Amino acid sequence: MANQRWNWSLSALLWFTTGAWAEPYVSSDGRFSAELSSATTCATSQSESPVGAIVTTVYLDKQPGRFLTVSFTDLPKLAILAGRERIFDEARDGMLQQCGGLQIAWRRQDPQTRRLLYTSPGHRGETLFRLEKYRLYVVDVRSEISLKPSLDSQFLQSFKIISPPAASAPAPKDP
C-alpha cells in the first residue's frame, strides 16, 4: 500500500512539474505560441543579402542543459522566387554552422516543413523549419545528451502558428 501511495505521489508531482498547467508563451509579433518559460529573451539581428536587408527575431529560453529557440525571418519575395528548397537548405546549413553541428537526418515533413536531427559537441539537437508565405520559422532544441529526449519532442510539438504571418498580410492602404 505504501508503494502505491508513493508511486501515485511521485507521478502526480512529475505530472504537475512538467508544465501540464503552464500557459504557452505567446509572441504577438512573431504570431506563434510555444512552451517557453517566462525567462525567455528576445533579440533581433539584421543581415545583408543580395536581395536586401533581412531581419531575424530570436526567442531564446536557456534551461539547465537545454536551449530552446524559436526564430522567424520575413523573407523578401525575391528570395521565395529562388526556390523553397534553396531556402530550407541554406537555413539548415546556417544552423549547422552556427552550432558546429553534424547532420544526422534531414526530412521533408510536408511542402512547408523540414526537420533536422543533428549532434554538436556534447549535445543532440532537433530543428523544425517551417515556411509560411514569406516568413521562415526555425524552432530548435539543443540538449545535453544525458537529458531525456521526450522533453525535446514536447517542446517542438508545442510550437503553433497562431495567425497568418505579418509578411503575408496585404500592405495597409493610405486613406
Higher pLDDT, 174 or 28: 28
| 128 in any annotated domain | yes
| 59 in any annotated domain | yes
- Judged against a pLDDT cut of 50, whether residue 3 lies above it is answered with no
- Judged against a pLDDT cut of 60, whether residue 168 lies above it is answered with no
| 170 in any annotated domain | no
Report how many domains make up the chain. Answer: 1
- The model scores a pTM over 0.75: yes
* pLDDT tens for each residue of 41-99: 999 999 887 777 889 999 999 999 999 999 999 998 888 887 889 999 999 999 999 99
Closest CA to 89 of 124, 116, 49, 51: 116
Burial 5-36 (b: 16+ CB within 10 A, else e): eeeeeeeeeeeeeeeeeeeebebeebbbbbbb
**β-pair type (135-144, 25-27):** unpaired
| 5 in any annotated domain | no
Mean pLDDT of the chain: 82
| 25 in any annotated domain | no
| pLDDT of amino acid 167 | 45
- Judged against a pLDDT cut of 60, whether residue 9 lies above it is answered with no
| 1 in any annotated domain | no
| 175 in any annotated domain | no
Range of 90's domain? 31-163
With a pLDDT cut of 70, the percent of the chain lying above it is 80
- Judged against a pLDDT cut of 70, whether residue 107 lies above it is answered with yes
| pLDDT of amino acid 142 | 96
| pLDDT of amino acid 94 | 93
Closest CA to 147 of 123, 121, 174, 115: 123
CATH code of the domain in which 99 resides: 3.40.1000.10
| 13 in any annotated domain | no
Mean pLDDT check: name the lowest of 6-15, 56-65, 71-80, 119-128: 6-15
